[in-house]
Structure 1
């Protein structure tokens, strides 16, 4: 905001990847009065997401389409070849933002109803999209999707949500981070000379780690025990049955929760039960491995950050434990999912982008945040982007030339319109 005011004072244009906030909006009249261009939200997300989404939306509208559903997902992830920790994540952007992501909760539109999700419920590993190249990715909704419905011309859409992508294991673990108060911002620990192990011991004693462990893990083991017992009963019943009875047991019908008859195959039931047991054991193991990876058992890493909150120490841990190694590669994934109708016929369109970095210096994150800004600056200097006012890149005069040059740099979307 200080830089923005200086730009007005010295009559200079401003290009930034940052969101337009209330402070920036308060300068709109002065920006226009001085004939300046303040081009904001010109990075990856926000930035490339706006441009690619508007390009596809305007194409759909040109074909007579009426959009009913819009989902836009984007995330900075670790590339599969560098995916070697239980979090399936490495830091490729501001670690402070990782620590505090989602604290304000989220608001979005789903099936015609406004959804408000609290912080503690935000990181649900079961909200997923499936990409053929990567498998399942989890998503959590961004803080404020609704402010973009009018900007995108989608005030009549029944579903509108903008999200952040992570591998499911990250969301699974981060929910535990929140449960254990590790994002708390209250200064409570003198970390000079303190190891990560000592911090976790003190923090967990204060916040009832043993009770949490019993709730989160022992309950899973109890469910596993009950499932195993039921499986054994089924197997024993099969063993004592004669061949004709055994055949009859393989297929039967039950009434489901909605009162509908459902065909049941015994072998499928056993397979599903076995998979559930395996999943519960995996989750119990993963919970502990993730905490240990962050330093729960690390006596060697000394914090030495003075008086800190749990969130400060968590940031220190992330910076040390989830840093990109010299040869590690990060990855950007973006996916738009759009449902629409043309003459009463339902259609779906997707637009997908995957960009990998080269190493821990030339990252996909740096490339996709920096290039749109650089391209826009060049277009302005060449006189090819003669705009004024407070703008974001949602109009064709901005997104068409920028997307064209991004494509020349290997940032190309794969669109699929059914």
Structure 2
């Protein structure tokens, strides 16, 4: 199959859609590659946000022109505007919410333009990837951090193990975005850069893991109740699976050899899982709107309603302790007090308990000026060789810049920015088709460049047992 032409003659252009919290570092990286790009179009529902990102990139030394535009893909009247913007560029990077990727990808492919995202490959994107291949185009998905460099760093090590004649019989792959230890100052051990609804909804989802070679699906409560504690780079964490990790057995080239495969996320040890399970038991994760007849005006009222009790805050605390079968001085009450669940603050009207809890968390669990976030990732591989067993780990721990870029923003948008830059320059050359970064042609140059930027993935053999 023919390669997508390198086309180093003439600089390239890119349309970036979105102006959210992760956009700026990736755009800045590309806008500093003046030998590759002649312009970047940045379109957002709120053009003022796009303009602010462009200005910040210029202040950071970017020299490639960044042109901004207003675009709201949810509005039918903007369909023509999307088509017009796509017509002006060589490729499209969607950093919009994942629900809109397929709509944008369809337009890009219709006009013969390459398409890129950091998000999981949905069934719709997978189908569009076939069309992209037929038209001689590239589609690259899952090129952020999780998904993204989790694939890359795992596959680099898996390929090395296979090249040495080894088999990976167990793999645990976990990644979390958390407050840095110096900013970890609330009982939940977590902070939000955006609305927490999605994080709380995830507590209601199932997760599928591979155990003894068989797929096992756990309910939300089972996921949290079986969380495993471990120490990574001196940080005490708890890990639990998310989504269906077994879908990556084949892309990771582990079919027929891996017997145990867990893929998920991290929280600080003892801070999150028990608290979320308790809040679920109390009814705070319910999506049923509280009826007006319940006369719920304050958080204390909501607690009374959910527990079916009357009385003051002390009476409610006693009812909570009874419901959860804990003492009234249990550490979980620190979580409840932090978000003032038994206080007199007014609750949002006509909302479900989950949304009321979200409002309380969002108000109190934001990053303060000068605080840093971090990304922490670890893969653990149990390997079999002809003469030995080995346990190998890959670790990455990257911190945000106080009052600057977050670790989340850099680790999500740098990888896709690097990939597009190297595809445009011809340093990476691939046949037409849809990809995730699980092949060495992608993961090696991207990980190498990330290392130069300070995001390093280190491998270590932590134990060896001779057969």
Shorter-chain TM-score category?
0.7 to 0.9
Q: Pick from 382, 385, 398 the counterpart of residue 355 of structure 1.
A: 398
Q: More relative contact order in 1 or in 2 (CA 8 Å, sep 6+)?
A: 1
Q: Which residue of 2 aligns with 1:50?
A: 151
Q: Pick from 121, 138, 143 the counterpart of residue 238 of structure 2.
A: 138
Which structure 2 residues correspond to residues 302-321 of structure 1 after superposition, within 5 A?
302-304=346-348, 306-321=349-364
Q: Pick from 335, 352, 367 the counterpart of residue 324 of structure 1.
A: 367
Structure 1 residue 119 displacement after superposition? 1.1
Q: Pick from 404, 407, 413 the counterpart of residue 457 of structure 2.
A: 413
1:23 aligns with 2:130: no
Mapped to 1, the partners of 2:405 and 2:309 lie a distance apart of 42
Q: Which residue of 1 aligns with 2:324?
A: 216
Mapped to 1, the partners of 2:200 and 2:309 lie a distance apart of 20
Gaps of 5+ in 2: 1-101, 311-315
Mapped to 2, the partners of 1:398 and 1:50 lie a distance apart of 11
Structure 1 residue 35 displacement after superposition? 1.5
Structure 1 residue 321 displacement after superposition? 1.4
Mapped to 2, the partners of 1:386 and 1:303 lie a distance apart of 55
Mapped to 1, the partners of 2:229 and 2:427 lie a distance apart of 40
Mapped to 2, the partners of 1:378 and 1:197 lie a distance apart of 54
| Residue 89 to residue 385, structure 1, CA distance change in 2 (3 Å) | same
Mapped to 2, the partners of 1:16 and 1:203 lie a distance apart of 41
8 Å contact from structure 2 (residues 303, 341) kept in 1: yes
8 Å contact from structure 1 (residues 376, 402) kept in 2: yes
Q: Which residue of 2 aligns with 1:402?
A: 446
Q: Which residue of 2 aligns with 1:377?
A: 420
1:13 aligns with 2:114: yes
Q: Which residue of 1 aligns with 2:57?
A: none
Q: Which residue of 2 aligns with 1:176?
A: 278
Q: Which residue of 1 aligns with 2:337?
A: 292
Mapped to 2, the partners of 1:193 and 1:212 lie a distance apart of 18
| Residue 367 to residue 196, structure 1, CA distance change in 2 (3 Å) | farther
Q: Secondary structure at the match of 2:383?
A: strand
TM-score under structure 2 length normalisation: 0.70
Q: Secondary structure at the match of 1:308?
A: coil
Mapped to 1, the partners of 2:259 and 2:161 lie a distance apart of 17
Comparing 326-335 and 2-11, the one that deviates more: 2-11
Mapped to 2, the partners of 1:189 and 1:374 lie a distance apart of 48
Gaps of 5+ in 1: 222-280
Mapped to 2, the partners of 1:292 and 1:312 lie a distance apart of 18
TM-score under structure 1 length normalisation: 0.78
| Residue 386 to residue 347, structure 1, CA distance change in 2 (3 Å) | same
Mapped to 2, the partners of 1:94 and 1:410 lie a distance apart of 29
8 Å contact from structure 1 (residues 92, 330) kept in 2: no
Cα RMSD for the two superposed structures: 2.5
Which structure 2 residues correspond to residues 228-239 of structure 1 after superposition, within 5 A?
none
Mapped to 1, the partners of 2:385 and 2:365 lie a distance apart of 47
Mapped to 1, the partners of 2:394 and 2:170 lie a distance apart of 14
Per-residue Cα deviation, 1:142-186 (whole angstroms, up to 9, x for no partner): 110111001101122111110111112111111112222222222
**Higher helix residue share:** 1
Q: Pick from 233, 240, 250 the counterpart of residue 150 of structure 1.
A: 250
Structure 1 residue 38 displacement after superposition? 1.3
8 Å contact from structure 1 (residues 66, 341) kept in 2: yes
8 Å contact from structure 2 (residues 167, 384) kept in 1: yes
Mapped to 1, the partners of 2:295 and 2:139 lie a distance apart of 44
Q: Which residue of 1 aligns with 2:139?
A: 38
8 Å contact from structure 2 (residues 178, 375) kept in 1: yes
Which structure 2 residues correspond to residues 272-283 of structure 1 after superposition, within 5 A?
none
Structure 1 residue 96 displacement after superposition? 2.5
Comparing 136-145 and 94-103, the one that deviates more: 94-103
8 Å contact from structure 1 (residues 109, 159) kept in 2: yes
Q: Which residue of 2 aligns with 1:341?
A: 384
Which structure 2 residues correspond to residues 253-264 of structure 1 after superposition, within 5 A?
none
Structure 1 residue 84 displacement after superposition? 0.9
8 Å contact from structure 1 (residues 77, 89) kept in 2: yes
Mapped to 2, the partners of 1:138 and 1:76 lie a distance apart of 13
Per-residue Cα deviation, 1:278-330 (whole angstroms, up to 9, x for no partner): xxx9xx52211101111213434x444x4211122222222111111112111
8 Å contact from structure 2 (residues 307, 319) kept in 1: no
Q: Which residue of 2 aligns with 1:259?
A: none
Mapped to 2, the partners of 1:303 and 1:360 lie a distance apart of 31
Q: Secondary structure at the match of 2:394?
A: strand
